[in-house]
Amino acid sequence: MSDESIARAADLLRGGGLVAFPTETVYGLGGDACNAAAVASIFAAKGRPAFNPLISHVASASEAFALGIETPAARRLADAFWPGPMTLILQRAPNCPIASLTSAGLDRIALRVPAHEGARRLLQQFGGPVAAPSANPSGRISPSRAAHVMAGLGGAIDMVLDGGPCSSGVESTVVDTSGTQAVILRPGGVTRDAIARCLAAGGLSLMPATQDGPGKDRPVSPGQLESHYAPHARLKMNVTAIEDDMELIGFGPIAGAGRLQLNLSESGNDSQAAANLFDMLHAADGTGAGVIGVAPVPDNGLGEAINDRLRRAAAPRG
């Protein structure tokens, strides 16, 4: 990504325009987080339900803690995992300039410092928070390449910064650190284990997985809609042998089958599988098969986030 293209992208953002940019997780569809009109056009471009709040991306933890109120858990996790694939939910700071539409009217905001070099340069140039959901039409597979963004949203945005394929693949882990106990709202690129260990080492606690699903008194991440990440084909999980009209995506010893013979990771590595996930779903969907099968992926490490995305892609469509 040239200095020139980054400068042009920052200018477009200043003017209220929309710029898709790479992060280490997926491509984001960025707009000025403090400009409600720009944020409204993000929702419009994605066709996204307006109640679903957006993550604001900033260049450093100090910028994040000027926008949201720091807590001990937030500080600890920020020190350990920023820049990187982790989003913290914090109480809005007094006079926080982020548009209320960005947080869908909630008094808590989502903040992330991405690690991708190009994203960091863009955020530094722009100098303020950039609201960005994944750059895909609402409910569809997340984009891990500039070409996916163009295919899904090309007509609706001002510019796509092409930084090549994303390295990490699944989106950031969303952790609510606004209260006394941290809660994982969405599994993602930083594993539950790593977060739990980091907090425990500081005498802080994480709500156990068994309790953190949506519930009566629990914080809910509005983005966790059941049917999400959906390809055009039907998706079937835990498939061990190819079936009729199917493109089978393998994992480990279960080989891919069909036209493309895809395998998330022949060695059964969870990071490699995460990095390949959206790419392979896009490719399998592109074959026109009626069903995409995916071999079983164990739940350990990034497997939790991978299976979360696959379950949503497989959920009945509303």
Chain contacts with ligand TXA (rule: CB under 6 A): 23, 25-26, 28, 52-55, 85, 87, 89, 103, 106, 108-110, 112, 132-134, 171-172, 174, 185-186, 221-224
Say which entry of ligand TXA, Mg ion, none residue 38 contacts (CB below 5 to 8 A, set by partner kind): none
Q: Footprint of Mg ion on this chain (CB under 5 A)?
A: 134
Q: Pick between residue 86 and residue 291 the one whose CB is nearest to ligand TXA.
A: 86
Write down the least CB distance from residue 201 to ligand TXA, Å. Answer: 25
Shortest-Cβ-distance residue relative to ligand TXA: 223
Alpha carbon distance 93, 149 (integer Å)? 33
Smallest separation (angstroms) from Mg ion to the CB of 56: 15
For residue 225 the two structure tokens come to 């809609």
Residue 258 contact among ligand TXA, Mg ion, none, beta carbon within 5 to 8 Å by kind: none
Residue with tokens 């100090």: 62
Indicate the residue among 103 and 265 with the shorter CB distance to ligand TXA.
Answer: 103
Choose the one of Mg ion, ligand TXA, none that binds residue 103, judging by a C-beta under 5 to 8 angstroms depending on kind: ligand TXA
In the complex with ligand TXA, the residue whose CB is nearer, 116 or 256, is 116
Min CB(153)–Mg ion separation in Å: 12
Rank residues 91 and 103 by Cβ distance to Mg ion and give the closer one: 103
Closest approach of Mg ion to the CB of residue 223, in Å:
7
To Mg ion, the closest distance from the beta carbon of 109 in angstroms equals 17
Nearer to Mg ion, 185 or 206 (CB): 185
By a kind-dependent CB cut-off of 5 to 8 A, residue 108 interacts, out of ligand TXA, Mg ion, none, with ligand TXA
The DSSP code sequence of 48-97 is --TTS--EEE-SSHHHHHHHB---HHHHHHHHHH-SSSEEEEEEBPTT--
Pick from ligand TXA, Mg ion, none: which does 246 bind, CB < 5 to 8 A by kind?
none
Lookup result for tokens 């966790």 = 224
8 A C-beta contact, residue 56 and residue 120: no
CA 204 – CA 202 distance, rounded (Å):
5
**102 interacts with, out of Mg ion, ligand TXA, none, CB within 5 to 8 A per kind:** none
Neighbours of 232 (CB within 10 A): 12
Write down the least CB distance from residue 79 to ligand TXA, Å.
19
- The DSSP H or E segment spanning 272 is helix 270-286
Name the residue nearer to ligand TXA (CB basis): 150 or 260. 150
- Strand-by-strand arrangement of the 108-112 sheet: 159-160, 19-21, 28-32, 130-131, 55-57, 108-112, 86-91, 173-176, 183-186
DSSP reduced 3-state for 231: coil
In contact, 120 and 1? CB cutoff 8 Å: no
User: Residue 171 class from Cβ within 10 Å (0-12 exposed, 13-18 middle, 19+ buried)?
Assistant: buried
Measured from the CB atom, the residue of 176 and 247 that comes closer to ligand TXA is: 176
Q: Which does 222 bind (CB under 5 to 8 A by kind): Mg ion, ligand TXA, none?
A: ligand TXA
Picked from Mg ion, ligand TXA, none, the partner binding residue 187 (CB below 5 to 8 A depending on kind) is none
Smallest distance, ligand TXA to C-beta of residue 107, A: 8
Angle (CA) 310 81 11, round 5°: 85
Sheet holding 291-294, edge to edge: 234-236, 291-294, 246-249
Residue 89 or residue 160: which is nearer to ligand TXA going by CB? 89
C-alpha 40: how far from chain center: 19
